[in-house]
Structure 1
Amino acid sequence: MTPNARETTAKNPWWTATIAGMASYLDAAAIVSTGMGMVLFEKEFDLGPAALGQLSALLTVMIAIGALVGGRLGDKYGRRKVFSTTMGIFAAGALALVFATAPWMLFLGIILLGFAAGADLPVSMAMIAETAPPGKKGKMITFSHILWMVGVLAVQLIGIIVGEMGTTGGRILFGHLLVMSLIVLVLRAGLPESPEWATSRTRAENSDTIAMSSLKTLFHSSYVVPLIATGLFYAIANVAANTNGQFSTYLYVNVAGASVTTASTIGLIAFGCSFLGLLATMKFADTRWRMPVFIAATAVSTIAFLVPAIMGTTTPTLAIMAVLYSLGGAVAGEPMYKVWSQELFPTIYRSTAQGITIGFTRVVAAAIALFTPAIINGGVQVLFIFLVTTTLASCLIGVLWLAKLSKAEPSTSDHEQESTPATDARESMTMA
């Protein structure tokens, strides 16, 4: 790529945000495609309930492992190198699933797909933040979550078309992942390295403090506090989102007595409400109204779960819950975690820290999902009270803890002179 072309790309942060943010699109598309695709593969590959559960759990675990590994490598070797490599691995996983002829190929495909999706997420978010113009970091990070939702919508629309095609339909679903990952791989070849990361790396090399960015130093520095805070916030806030995503149809059909069609229709309406919530996040994330809007969104989410808890689990109460939570959760959930994660960590730790918190959150989500069906069967009101509790707990962490932490870098310019690794090391030793 010519220098002029690279300069043009660097001056178009929205293009960078879109191409890097496709990690979120593919993460969501991989999760939903696996859920649909394994059901479509069920008959040909003789997949029983145990195998289906193992494949689903394997995807979650591999995303967690990928986030840990990819985040660390992104800080060590650069954003561009890592998220180009991960796209190649993602494409290989999708290819294995498209042409699978035996169950072992399904497991291999899911391992590659999950690892690559997880490894890409923290690196891509760091890239978006580090190329965002001053005062627009929160807006552009939130945009990546819109791409996540578009990934869900795209697979659902494809699923409507191929849902009755059996194995062929499953191959088409994973073929979509293959095509999109190859397109992203080609487009990412035109992106320059994050200038913020490159500058940070150069300073570290010049001062002989490369070891400063090690995991040991991270856990013995002042940044371990925001690491714990963002990890707890994301894991706790994600409980409601994960439960709603995995078990909403189950609640409609097995508790409220509605049909899958009804559940899907309400889900589509709620999906639109989530876009409205995300637009609100994009508008206020970089302003003084961030926390008031965050608190208001938490209140809306809390009311959402109180409706079926108090009025009973019926189709109307679940519909009200879906609409309200789609609005509130799009502000007071994962999008806000993404914003805080960019602000609270310096460049040399940003990707690593996100990899750790993403991995932790995915493991927590998988563990809670194991017990959710039993909770529903034992008394569904208990589930909603539990979700009210986790929603309020995440809000308290956000208001009383995260909002009071100092940003790691100046907010006036994302590309101004930042503290050097040597300075960070001195501060770390002081705080330790």
Structure 2
Amino acid sequence: MATTEKSVPFEEVTFRRFHLHIGFSGCGGQFADGFELGIIGIAVAIAAGPLQLSALQMGLLGAAALAGLFVGSLITGIVADRIGRRTIFAYDMLFAAAISGAQFFATEPWHLLALRLMLGFVLGADYVVSKSLVTELSPIRFRGRLLSLMAIAWAAGYTVAYVAGFLIRDTGPDAWRYMLAISSAPALCIFLFRMSIPESPLWLIKRGRVEEARQIILKKLGPDVALPKVATEVRKRGGEWAALFSPKWRRRTAVGGIFYVCQVIPYFALGTFLPKIMEALHVTDKYSGSLVYNTFLMLGAIIGMVVIDRLSRRFFLISTFYIGAGLLLLLSVNVLGSTGVIIVFALFALTLSAAANLEFMYPPELFPTHLRATGVGLAVAASRFGSALSTFLLPLVVQTYGVGTALVACVVVMVFGGVVCQAWAPETGHVHLDSIGEAEDDRRDSRSVQCAQNETA
């Protein structure tokens, strides 16, 4: 495939059926991931009697997938940067379906615990490879929207899981088995769509496999698309971890982890115990308030998808941290009436959910191809640790110090995230993936992009 004057750069091609296939494969995986994680809450509540679960065992089963996800994302990031993304992306949903189906046959709490740990490991692998591969195969103009759709798909899967659990709950003493087993269906379906997704040409070229990349681009996009101009990777001693924490990349590594953690702490902590929080703030109908909150979470995800490619990534990231912190601070003074609390919580949900779109696109855009999966894996692992810790601590803080203190703690977390991002976060929205790390100065990364845009205008 010779490069001609009419050749289109790989990341600037028009949106094609191939990209639709990529987006659907990534979104389907996220829907399955959300379903797998969402179904456990209602399933464990019903299984408590038949399996004679203690409170400790119920807590462990609820957190098992998150623990597995933490380990899976850390390990898979390194593996995917060394052996490629495609194999893991193609088969992880098959493993997820098999493990989910095996939950039907669990007869002891430890059986279920082991399966949830394994399932979390597989989901952690999918978080990493899905974000990395979809990012590397998407055109730059549509990358944000495709990755935003993955965020919406995850939220949809999580919500549908509760609906499915609600419908199945009265089918008999084995209802919890059917709930957990049926979670294999979305994973199995999407596995079939993933088999024809190729390896990332960016990763192949980075590893010196230029001809393989050329054939993939020719087959999937046509002869008018030019090969990405990516330098072949020269492997250095110390590996991916040493590179991520080297002077060149450590700020991006810090931003990727810190922004993710500071977003998920209030998201999971407040969302998990929302009825209790609203009750402490004297909301008269805490369940209606929770329904409004969750409705605005879904609405925020959709709005985030619409605006993500119209705003600077950096501006979107920083502003939503400060807006969210301001709304929580207003709640913490506890002077609003019942309706006022619900309105402010709804606005907070809208803001945070819109910003959560960045969790799918910003980490992959921070790192070069040979470090992308490792960097994304580290950010995902940090977020799961933060979400688990905050979910554990929040009810204790509310009980001991009051809801105002818990909300102020979340304010501090969000302000910290905003300050760190304001100091270090680079602009990545208009940066080609094949140019990340090429003769760039991290301290002036965001300014250089803005200046180039101004000069062009």
Q: Please indicate the TM-score interval, normalised by the length of the shorter structure.
A: 0.7 to 0.9
- Shift of residue 10, structure 1, vs aligned partner: 7.6
**Contact 1:13/1:132, CA 8 A, preserved across alignment:** yes
Aligned residue for 2:414?
Answer: 391
Distance across 2 between alignment mates of 1:199 and 1:153: 40
Tell me if the contact between 1:308 and 1:317 (Cα under 8 Å) persists in the aligned partners.
no
1:245 maps to which of 271, 284, 288: 271
The 3-state SS of whatever aligns with 1:277 is helix
1:302 corresponds to which of 311, 318, 325 = 325
Segment of structure 1 superposing worse, 150-159 or 87-96: 87-96
Shift of 1:119: 1.2
One-letter amino acid matched to 2:150: S
- 1:279-428, aligned counterparts within 5 Å? 279-311=302-334, 315-332=338-355, 334-378=356-400, 379-402=402-425, 405=426, 407=428, 411=430, 413-414=432-433, 418=435
Gaps of at least 5 residues in structure 1 are 1-8
SS at the partner of 1:12?
Answer: helix
**SS of the residue aligned with 2:52?**
coil
Do structure 1's residue 209 and structure 2's residue 245 form an aligned pair? no
- For residue 53 of structure 2, give the secondary structure of its aligned residue in structure 1: coil
Residue 13 of structure 1 is matched in structure 2 by 19
Aligned partners of 1:107, 1:246: CA distance in 2, in Å?
Answer: 21
Contact 1:273–1:327, Cα closer than 8 Å, also in 2: yes
Relative distance call for 1:419 and 1:307 in structure 2 (3 A) is closer
Identify the residue that residue 3 of structure 1 maps to in structure 2.
Answer: none
Q: Is the 8 A contact 1:234 1:337 kept in 2?
A: yes
How far did 1:139 drift? 1.9
Cα separation, 1, equivalents of 2:209 and 2:18: 26
Instruction: Render the CA deviation track for 1:214-251: whole Å, top value 9, x for unaligned.
Output: 33333335122201111011112211101122111333
- Answer yes or no: is the 8 Å Cα contact 1:126–1:351 preserved in 2: yes
Higher helix share: 1
Identical counterparts, % of pairs? 21
Contact 2:305 2:354 in 1 (8 A): no
Aligned residue for 2:30?
24
Q: Secondary structure at the match of 2:49?
A: coil
Which amino acid is 2:266 matched to? A
Q: Distance in 1 between matches of 2:435 and 2:327?
A: 42
1:231 and 2:257 aligned? yes
Which residue, out of 121, 130, 138, partners 2:127?
Answer: 121
**Backbone CA RMSD of aligned residues:** 3.0
Q: TM-score, normalised by structure 2?
A: 0.80
In 2, distance between residues paired with 1:216 and 1:310? Answer: 45
Q: Which runs of 5+ in 2 are unaligned?
A: 1-14, 212-230, 443-457
Distance of aligned partners of 1:106 and 1:313 in 2 relative to their CA distance in 1, 3 Å threshold = farther
Q: Give the match for residue 190 of structure 2.
A: 184
After superposition, the C-alpha distances for 1:47-84 in whole angstroms (9 at most, x for unaligned) are 01010111223222111001111222221222110123
Amino acid at match of 2:234: T
Structure 1, 116-125 or 158-167: larger mean CA deviation: 158-167
CA distance in 2 between partners of 1:268 and 1:163 (Å): 20
Partner Cα separation in structure 2 for residue 46 and residue 315 of structure 1: 39
Q: Which residue of 1 aligns with 2:54?
A: 48
Query: In the alignment, what sits opposite 1:85?
Result: 91
TM-score by length of 1: 0.84
The answer to whether the aligner puts 1:272 opposite 2:295 as a matched pair is yes
Moved more, 203-212 or 234-243: 203-212
Alignment match, 1:4: none
Equivalents in 1 of 2:295, 2:52: separation in Å? 37
- Measured in 1, the distance between the counterparts of 2:409 and 2:243 equals 36
Tell me, yes or no, if structure 1 residue 163 matches structure 2 residue 189. Answer: no
Contact 1:256 1:313 in 2 (8 A): no
Change (3 A) 1:41 1:357: same
**1:147 aligned to 2:143?**
no
The alpha-carbon distance between structure 1 residues 59 and 314, as it changes in their structure 2 partners (threshold 3 A), is farther
TM-superposed deviation, 1:167: 4.3
1:277–1:331 Cα contact (<8 Å) kept = yes
One-letter amino acid of the structure 1 residue matched with residue 388 of structure 2:
A
**How many residues end up aligned between the 2 structures?**
407
Cα distance in 2, alignment partners of residues 166 and 319 from structure 1 = 37
Q: For 1:270 and 1:182, locate their aligned partners in 2 and report how far apart those are by CA, in whole Å.
A: 31
Q: C-alpha offsets along residues 299-345 of structure 1, whole Å, 9 cap, x if unaligned?
A: 5423432343123587535422431122110233x322332212210
CA shift, 1:418, in A, is 4.4
Quick one: distance in 1 between partners of 2:80 and 2:282? 46
Give the conservation status (yes or no) of the 8 Å contact 1:58–1:110.
Answer: yes
Q: In structure 2, do the counterparts of structure 1 residues 270 and 224 end up closer, same or farther at CA, with 3 Å as the change threshold?
A: same
Native 8 Å contact 1:304 1:320 kept in 2: no
* 8 Å contact from structure 1 (residues 92, 109) kept in 2: no
Tell me: CA distance 1:369–1:412, structure 2 relative to 1, closer, same or farther (3 Å).
closer
Farther-moved stretch of structure 1 (135-144 vs 341-350): 135-144
- What do residues 259-308 of structure 1 show as CA deviations (whole Å, max 9, x unaligned)? 6xx52x43343333233323332233234554555455345423432343
3-state SS, counterpart of residue 286 of structure 1: coil
How has the CA–CA distance of structure 1 residues 238 and 11 changed in structure 2, closer, same or farther, with 3 Å as cutoff?
Answer: same
My pick for the range that moved more, 10-19 or 139-148, is 10-19
Counterpart contact for 1:237–1:391, Cα < 8 Å: yes
Aligned pair in 2 of structure 1 residues 381, 102: CA closer, same or farther (>3 Å)?
same
Distance 1:118 1:317, change over 3 A: farther
| Alpha-carbon displacement from aligned partner over 1:123-160 (angstroms, at most 9, x marks no partner) | 10111111111222222212110011111121121122
Helix, strand or coil at the partner of 1:311: coil
- Alpha-carbon separation, structure 1, partners of 2:358 and 2:344: 21
